Structure 1
Amino acid sequence: MTPRTGSAAGSTLAFVESPVQLLNVLEWAHTVAPRTAQEHAESAVPPSVRTRHEAAADPAGEQVDRAAEARTRAPLTPDALTVVVLSPTDPMTRGQLRRMAELARAEGYHVRWEEARGGASAPFQTIGGLTPLLRVARRVVIGDPFSRYVQLLLTITRARDLVVVDDGTATMEFISQLARGERLVRWHRRGGRPGARDIVFAPVSASARRRLTPGGNRTVEVFSSMPMETVPEGVRITANDFAWTRSRFGPPRITKGADLVGTSLVETGVVDPDRYLEAVASLARTHGATRYFAHRRESSEKLHRLAVETGLEVVRPDLPLELIARRGPIGRTILSFPSTVVHTLPLALAGTEVKVAVCDIDPSWLTDHASPRAQGFLSGVTGTARDVHRLSAVAHTA
């Protein structure tokens, strides 16, 4: 059953395909919705964290006055936002999305669940059903500018205000490509020849990139916790400091041990599976980790092997890790490879005693199929992270 969309649902439409995207829509809505001074004070990040993060997010290097900026943006009331979930087929992702949808409804927002990939006719039915809403929406929020589904929807909407919320480290690549006027391609696919589907879809992708470029009466905002080296002219960057997460969850109970965060770099063909398991085992031994929080895209086969060979307890989170960590219990040290969480967890856990440590990816771990840009991109993810402890890459032992 499709939930009702409310009389004001045409004001703002948000399209999400992952739990993290939906989390960041809630974070964005929290900054836009009218709040009292007391609520602002209760959700404030400690000044030392806020200053470093927001200075990095502002291309001019100036601190961002988020309260002042919020006053310049159109206020958002719960009945003015409809979150459209373009549901994927992966069971783990669907499960987390349903939990996040429950949280969104609890905040008073309308959620419309679309089986967007439920068969050959599903895309046509989904797009046909969403077209009337897209035509009247004044503002559109998207979580993945690289998504072909989203790019196609952008060619339909007449909205003058576009907002891109974080889809993890991919946001850094999106901003860089937009600034250079390049076609939108995910970082781990760079360097390969465009396939037949890429060529057929190229006009739609080019149109979406133009829509995501500010001009005339069209505004583009990027709501992100990621560092931005180059920002396209006219694009407004707003810092995501996870105020909603901190106001709704925690503070967590902190355990004495360490927890390890998984990554899908093996599944995307970037890192060799044997080298990855060796690195996980070495980190667990060195730092006394007992739990492994699996990425939602990690395969069951790899996780079973990991549990057998390392003795780690594999945990399949039912929510994004930022919420799991904030809710607790969580280890005093969180170990991670280069990924989104090395940027987001220090913000979500601001004011706690939890330390986030990141382990570099050794070039010898990369597969022959990895993009030529993989090592540089992953090093950049680590190098730009703030409030984290850097660990040397785990040496490979033959």
Structure 2
Amino acid sequence: MSPRAGQPGQPSYTLAFVESPVQLLNVLEWAHLHGLHGAEPDTSPSVPAQLRRTVVSAPPPSGAELMVVVLSPTDPMTRGQLRRMADLARDEGYRVRWEEARGGTTAPFHTIGGLAGALRRAERIVMGDPFSRYVQLLLTITRARDLVVVDDGTATMEFVAQLARGERLVRWHRKGGRPGPRDLLFAPVSSSARRRLTPSARRRVEVFSSMPVTEIPDGVTVTANEFTWTRARFGPPRIIKGADMVGTSLVETGVVDGDRYLSAVRGLARTHGATRYFAHRREAVDKLHRLAAQTGLEIVRPDLPLELIARRGPIGRTVLSFPSTVVHTLPLALAGTGVRVAVCDVDPSWLTETASPRAQGFLSGVTGTARDVHRLAAVGLA
């Protein structure tokens, strides 16, 4: 679905809502694919191409206006990565509006009130997380005819499947549990969002994804995200000997037991000679301290999404990962570089007692549907 014009002679107005660095990266990929190019970035030779920043926001691209609204979370690591990604968006010429959307009890009211006018004017809404209560609430205000969902990792697979089956929108690692009081209170808004995200004669829906999408709802357009913007702007990277490991937040989300995860990381690092561990932005500090002490791995806290870090380099000849988004995205971002992405299955014995009944099947599906990756058997606990 290509961006369409507004009134004759007027640019199309698109509003994008993001809450994570990966969502903002994928908004840039979507805009690049659909031709919403911004102003030329600073090409000063004194500034390395991969570190250029503009001090003042450039004007929006002529004929295709895109404004990115960052609904800022409270987590410091996520905020830091989002600020770096916001700089890259400005370098492309797009406007970025930073909202302290969670900065106190009254913050949501100020945010929603301040965005109401823009929501009503926008002809197209792009969102990174249709499960977000914030985004679902904002959807009740918009009159946009075009809705676009860009990748928010493996959650995209579940969103499309739930939409196809007409189910309520709930994250995969929470599915199977009883709805809490807040879920019940928010249920009417969630139901309204699901209806708005269902294509109709008045509304078009696009899913922009690098993930495998098998259950496609009637009327939904699925567009492949092949990370063409990332490959054009970064790299190719310098390849170094040995292996790097990618961290996961499966412990933090209550899916995998912390001690078993640590043992699995230790076994993988020893078997494959890994030296660095790229931490997920949501991994707990105390867990990372334990990993460093017990495995000898160098813990790296990336300041950008891993797809950009890997493309910028240096990166190991082999990248090890557990089932996660990166087993789908890294082969695309690193296409043609010779880097091998290997994924290790999660053994059922690693799951916590409170893990969703669907956890094992979902994680196996994430691994099994990944293209251009080497699949490793679950490692023995060390």
Corresponding position of 1:45: none
Task: Indicate the residue corresponding to 1:11 in structure 2.
Answer: 13
Instruction: Identify the structure with the greater helix proportion.
Output: 1
2:86 equivalent in structure 1: 101
Aligned to 1:190: 175
2: CA distance, partners of 1:157 / 1:211 = 10
Q: TM-score, normalised by structure 2?
A: 0.90
TM-score normalised by length of structure 1: 0.87
- The answer for unaligned runs of 5 or more in structure 2 is 1-9, 38-60
* 1:77 Cα deviation after fit: 4.8
1:294 to 265, 279, 296: 279
Query: % of aligned pairs identical?
Result: 80
**Are 1:169 and 2:149 matched, yes or no?**
no
Asked if 2 retains the 8 angstrom alpha-carbon contact of 1:293 and 1:314, the reply is yes
Q: How many Å apart are 1:395 and its aligned residue? A: 1.8
1, 24, 27: which one aligns with 1:25: 27
**One-letter code of the match for 1:304?**
H
Higher RCO (Cα < 8 Å, 6 or more apart): 1
Q: For residue 27 of structure 2, what is the amino acid of its counterpart?
A: V
Question: Out of 357, 360, 369, which is 1:384 matched to?
Answer: 369
Structure 1 residues 9 and 279: alpha-carbon distance in aligned structure 2, compared to 1, 3 A threshold:
farther
Matches of 2:169 and 2:351, distance apart in 1: 23
TM-superposition CA deviations, 1:283-313 (whole Å, max 9, x none): 0000000000000000000000000000000
The structure 2 residue matched to 1:228, chosen from 203, 208, 213, is: 213
Corresponding residue of 2:5: none
Partner SS for 2:30: helix
SS of the aligned residue for 1:26 comes to helix
* Count of aligned pairs: 350
Amino acid at match of 1:25: V
The answer (yes or no) to whether the contact 2:246–2:278 under 8 Å persists in 1 is: yes
The CA deviation string for residues 247-286 of structure 1, in whole angstroms up to 9 with x for no partner, is 0000000001100000000000000000000000000000
CA distance in 2, matches of 1:283, 1:257: 13
Aligned counterparts of 2:377 and 2:63: Cα–Cα separation in 1: 46
Deviation at residue 216 of structure 1 after TM alignment = 1.0
On the 8 A contact 2:36/2:65 being kept in 1, the answer is no
1:145–1:363 Cα change, 3 Å: same
Q: Does residue 112 in structure 1 map to residue 114 in structure 2?
A: no
RMSD: 1.2
Structure 2 counterpart of 1:212, from 194, 197, 208: 197
Over 3 Å counting, the alpha-carbon distance change for 1:77 and 1:144 in structure 2 is: farther
Deviating above 2 A after TM superposition, structure 1's stretches of 4 or more consecutive aligned residues are: 76-79
Deviations 1:154-201 (A, max 9, x none): 000000000000000000000000000000000000111000000000
Structural mapping, 1:120-199, within 5 Å: 120-199=105-184
1:79 Cα offset (Å) = 5.9
